[in-house]
Amino acid sequence: MLSSTGNLVVAIFSPCRLAVAICLTVLILGGIGVAIWALVTYLSKPEDIGLYEVQMSSADRRLRVFDSTQSRWRHVCSSSADQLVASISCEEMGFVRMMNYSRIPISNDHDVFCVKDNELIHGKKIITSLYPCECETGEIIAVTCQECGRRSLTEERIVGGVDARQGRWPWQVSLQYDGVHQCGGSIISDRWIVTAAHCFPERYRHVARWRVMLGSIYNTPTHKNVVSAEVQTVVYHSSYLPFVDPSIDDNSRDIAVLALVTPLQFTDFIQPVCLPVHGQRLVDGQMGTVTGWGNTGYYGTLANILQEATVPIISDVACNAPDYYDNQITTSMFCAGLEKGGIDACQGDSGGPFVSEDCLSKTSRYRLHGVVSWGTGCAMAKKPGVYTKVSRFLPWISAAMRTYDTTPGVHKMSRT
């Protein structure tokens, strides 16, 4: 019995079996370790905050920036650069203008960022100039930005579109030359309008002959609520190639801004739209609304009442397919429309807005993602509208407004 039992023990714990048992144990423990690591990684990864990483407190306008490395919000310590910090932060959030700023005493429970003053640059994310610190000044920054992207009213031709209601798209304007509608545009501040570069060929560069009609779903001054504003400055992108060589078939960088002679008084019918937040990307299939007074058919006439149509964004890959636009869509453009056609922007809608709504700034706001640029025909199958991608030109828009704020006339400005 002893002899056979001893043989059995030897057989069970033979070197080969022992090695296999050790390997299995290591694998099991390793699997458990991987599972624990994955769980810890998931739990410790930065919070998906669902908001843009720069925010203002709705209660007291305190500026907050999200620290992704620590997964927490931090306030910004006051310094000699407060005005620039406030201005850059408002721009980054898509608000265009900083109205004012102030300093608030810090509480003991506040996490804080300090500012590297010499690294602050318009068009550069504010987080790149911040670092966690102890706030020696004992004060943090509060900021008030210009309101945008919201309708004041509680209520609310694009081909295939419908009549818009009064006050529904209060940033929409009509750009008129010698009293004739030429293009649409979007209010982004009390003085500045965003539109398309191609609205300003050589024959349309006499600033005094331009007027901006706004405040109404009608684009003629005889209707109620219509406001007529004089234009002081036009700045278009100097790399819009058709102006360089008319034979060039590339409509990239089709963007321009206008400054008005007199600042606007915002009303229920006149409001600015927000710009995209810095780094905001468009999503394929995302719905947006295009508005304008353009032709209601390829051979039609201009619409009497502002038209609106909601269409999905089409991926660049699909829109560059041979039966669509055959590689004519560049990184500064995007397409939006239906494969079967039927709904689209058309002649006269150029320069007008393509907007969509989000809650990146806590409150639901409309942002100007596109400027009506070009397309083949109107509302044709597989020939959707093509829009200038506004997010690609945020530094350009900012630089144009700062550079030509007090400089009348027509100017061209290159990329920044």
Helices (H) and strands (E) in the chain, counts: 6, 21
Given the residues 75, 181, 198, 278, the one annotated as active site: 198
Q: Which residues lie below 8 Å from residue 59, measured CB to CB, with a gap of 6+? A: none
The structure tokens listed for 166 are 């009064």
Given the residues 78, 87, 332, 350, the one annotated as active site: 350
Q: Coil, strand or helix: which one is 92?
A: helix
Query: Distance of CA 80 to CAs 87, 115, 120, 183, 199, Å?
Result: 13, 10, 12, 43, 42
Compute the distance between CA of residue 175 and CA of residue 145 in angstroms, rounded to an integer.
27
Give, for 316, the enclosing helix (H) or strand (E): helix 316-319
Compute the distance between CA of residue 383 and CA of residue 319 in angstroms, rounded to an integer.
8
Which residue(s) pair with 104 in the sheet?
140
Residue 400 sits at φ, ψ, to 5 deg, of: -65, -40
Is 216 assigned a catalytic role? no
Compute the distance between CA of residue 36 and CA of residue 243 in angstroms, rounded to an integer.
61
Closest CA to 186 of 357, 354, 396: 354
Which residue(s) pair with 101 in the sheet?
143
Burial class (CB in 10 A: 0-12, 13-18, 19+), 101: buried
Closest CA to 386 of 348, 350, 357, 340: 350
Half-sphere exposure at residue 38, Cβ-oriented, CA atoms within 13 angstroms = 6
Is 250 assigned a catalytic role? no
Query: Distance of CA 223 to CAs 66, 152, 218, 381, 401, Å?
Result: 47, 20, 7, 36, 31
Is 350 assigned a catalytic role? yes
Given the residues 254, 344, 349, 358, the one annotated as active site: 254
A 10 A CB-CB count for 413 gives 17
Region at 277 (left for phi over 0; alpha for psi -120 to 50; beta for the rest): beta
Is the CB of residue 107 less than 8 Å from the CB of residue 144?
Answer: no
Compute the distance between CA of residue 73 and CA of residue 67 in angstroms, rounded to an integer.
6
Residues involved in catalysis: 198, 254, 350
